[in-house]
Amino acid sequence: MPADVVEVSIKGLMPTANGCAVFLGNEEKVFVIYVDPSVGSAISMTISGVKKERPLTHDLIGHVFLGFGITLERVLINDVNDGTYFARVFLHMQNELGRKFLEIDARPSDSIVLALQQKRPIYVATKVFEIVEDMTEILERVLKQQKDDEKGGEDQ
């Protein structure tokens, strides 16, 4: 991987009034991307390993990839502008039609779901990682609150 990217993973999820806050990061820094409720639900179900009766949109995309011999190589969150993040999905296709490498523009939220489902890495451009606000402290508070809420529910 080039030196101008940083690998990140999902560090936490938190429901919000308009969807879900997805905390991404590594040992150095955590930042947040806000996603709509359906994508937040898809991320949560994927992390939890929930089996679905019928395929959702991201499942369908994964099935199409499989059918055409396409593998998701990686996801790159490559830009941010006024709080809106941008991403690229890197695909490799090898089948009877030949071999191709594709780079496709995609929403980071959808890209994250696909990366989780396909067990592929999520990267952030270093230039983006350097300018995003570090939300590590907020994530730690959220996780502590969730843990406290779970303990409180067990005591009842």
Question: Cα dist. 34→3, 30, 31, 37, 90 in Å?
Answer: 27, 13, 10, 9, 22
Residues 47-60 have pLDDT tens digits of 998 888 888 889 99
Contact in structure between 64 and 109 (CB atoms under 8 Å): no
Residues 51-91 have pLDDT tens digits of 888 888 899 999 999 888 899 999 999 999 998 999 999 99
Contact in structure between 104 and 65 (CB atoms under 8 Å): no
Task: Supply the pLDDT for residue 142.
Answer: 84
3-state DSSP assignment of residue 63 = helix
CATH topology of domain 5-155: Bifunctional nuclease domain (3.10.690)
DSSP string, 38-51: HHHHHHHHHHHT--
Domain ranges of the chain: 5-155
Residues 112-146 have pLDDT tens digits of 999 999 999 999 999 999 999 999 999 998 888 87
Query: Which tokens go with 8?
Result: 């990140």
Task: Supply the pLDDT for residue 79.
Answer: 96
Average pLDDT, the chain: 91
Task: Supply the pLDDT for residue 154.
Answer: 63
